[in-house]
Amino acid sequence: MKKRYLVILLVLLSFASLFVGVTNISPLDLFRFSDHQTQIFWQSRVPRLVSILIAGVTLSISGFIMQQLSRNKFVSPTTAGTMDSARFGILVALIVFTSAGPLEKMVIAFIFSLAGTFLFMKVLDRIKMKDPIFIPLVGLMFGNIISSITTFFAYKHDLIQNMSAWLQGDFSMITAGRYEMLYISVPLVVIAYFFADRFTIAGMGEDFAKNLGLNYKQAVNVGLIIVALSTTLVVLTVGLIPFLGLVVPNIVSIYRGDNLKNSLFDTALLGAVFILFCDILGRIIIFPYEIPIGLTVGVIGSGIFIYLLMRRRDYA
């Protein structure tokens, strides 16, 4: 039922996304594009749409996986330091490996975000007080510490401006040739699907997993690698997109439950629709200028986050 509406909405929004922008391209021109229009369409509009969809899908699924593995509804790439660690990795790549190509940058950023996420999970193991609100606060603090280290070194090396490009997610810079790295996360989604049951079982606790003969550590590690790699790819190509991995899985959980295998498709769909909506909104509000996606998702997402916190008692 709901899925059908989401699919229709996704198609409509995708269509709209292709035809919103400074250069006037109307659907009516579709079969008689001028050279300029063709170029804009294939160099900017299509890459933008594709990157939005991939980012929305992977961040939402990453959030879902993290919430299962950490057994906390409010842990996500934003609230566990994953994004900040990835950004720190990018800075290190810029400073230490000045001639690093995009792929090397990705590898270094990935290593950092993975290490950061692991560190957070280790901290989580140590914390005695498993209060659902306390954990993401620790994560946010942890992320801010890493972020301030990043700022410190960026300042020292005169890279502040460079780094702020990665601070705020922004799809307006996406053109053909600058986003293709995101395709790497497509197989990650497939792996996530095949591991879905394992993540859910791991989410029921180590004893529970062991009883069912599941290799708990392996499941957690695979999950964290998927999360760290897909987050890195998004941060590297688009920038920080806060709250997406937090809000979308929580909404899906309310109406579809937490069995990842059942909820994966809905999560992907809703994630794509949500971010697409925010992006189009950002493009329309102060037309012909743009509000970066990080800001629109941040504002709308944090609003929903507060709402979820308030209604937590009702369902979590």
Partner 1 sequence: MVEVQSISKSYGLKAVVDDVSVNIQKGKITSFIGPNGAGKSTLLSIISRLMSADTGEVLIDGQKVNETKSRDLAKKMAILKQANHLSLRLSVRDLVAFGRFPYSQGKLTKEDHVFIDEALRYMELEDLQDRYLDQLSGGQKQRAFIAMTIAQDTEYILLDEPLNNLDMKHSVQIMKVLRRLADELGKTVLIVIHDINFASVYSDYIVALKDGKVEAQGTVNEIITTLTLKQVYGMDMSIQEINNQKICVYFS
Binding residue (CB under 8 A) for partner 1 from 126, 207, 286, 313:
207
List 7, 12, 30, 212, residue binding partner 1 (CB under 8 A): 212
Q: Which of 58, 62, 68, 150 binds partner 1 (CB under 8 A)?
A: 68
Task: Please report, as residue ranges, which positions from 182 to 201 form the binding site for partner 1 (by CB under 8 A).
Answer: 194, 196-198, 200-201
Rounded Cα distance between 117 and 128, Å, is: 19
**Among the candidate windows 71-79, 87-95, 169-177, 225-233, which touches partner 1 by CB under 8 A?**
71-79
Q: At what angle do helices 102-126 and 46-70 cross, to 10 degrees?
A: 20
C-alpha dist (Å) from residue 81 to 69, 112, 123, 162, 240? 15, 10, 12, 20, 12
Binding mask 95-134 for partner 1 (x = CB under 8 A): -------------------------------------x--
Nearer to partner 1, 201 or 273 (CB): 201
Residue 309 in contact with partner 1, rule: CB under 8 A: no
Nearer of residues 32 and 126 to partner 1, judged by Cβ: 126
Q: Which is nearer to partner 1, 17 or 72 (by Cβ)?
A: 72
**Segments in 133-213 forming alpha helices (H):** 134-156, 160-167, 185-202, 206-211
| Total residue length of the chain | 316
| % helix, strand, coil for the chain, step of 5 | 75, 0, 25
Would you count residue 312 as binding partner 1 (CB under 8 A)?
no
Burial 247-274 (b: 16+ CB within 10 A, else e): bbbbbbbeebebebeebbbbbbbbbbbb
Which region among 152-160, 165-173, 184-192, 255-263 touches partner 1 (by CB under 8 A)? 255-263
Among 159, 214, 251, 280, binds partner 1 (CB under 8 A): 214
User: Taking CB under 8 A as the rule, does residue 69 contact partner 1?
Assistant: no
Using CA atoms, how far residue 15 sits from 121, 122, 280, in Å, is 40, 44, 11
CA distance 23 to 142: 42
Q: Which of residues 259-278 bind partner 1 (CB under 8 A)?
A: 259, 261-262
Segment contacting partner 1 (CB under 8 A): 1-9, 181-189, 253-261, 278-286? 253-261
Contact criterion met (CB below 8 Å) for 224 and 90: no
* Residue with token string 């987050």: 231
Write out the residues near partner 1 by the rule CB under 8 A. Answer: 68, 71-73, 132, 194, 196-198, 200-201, 203-204, 207-208, 210-215, 253, 257-259, 261-262, 315-316
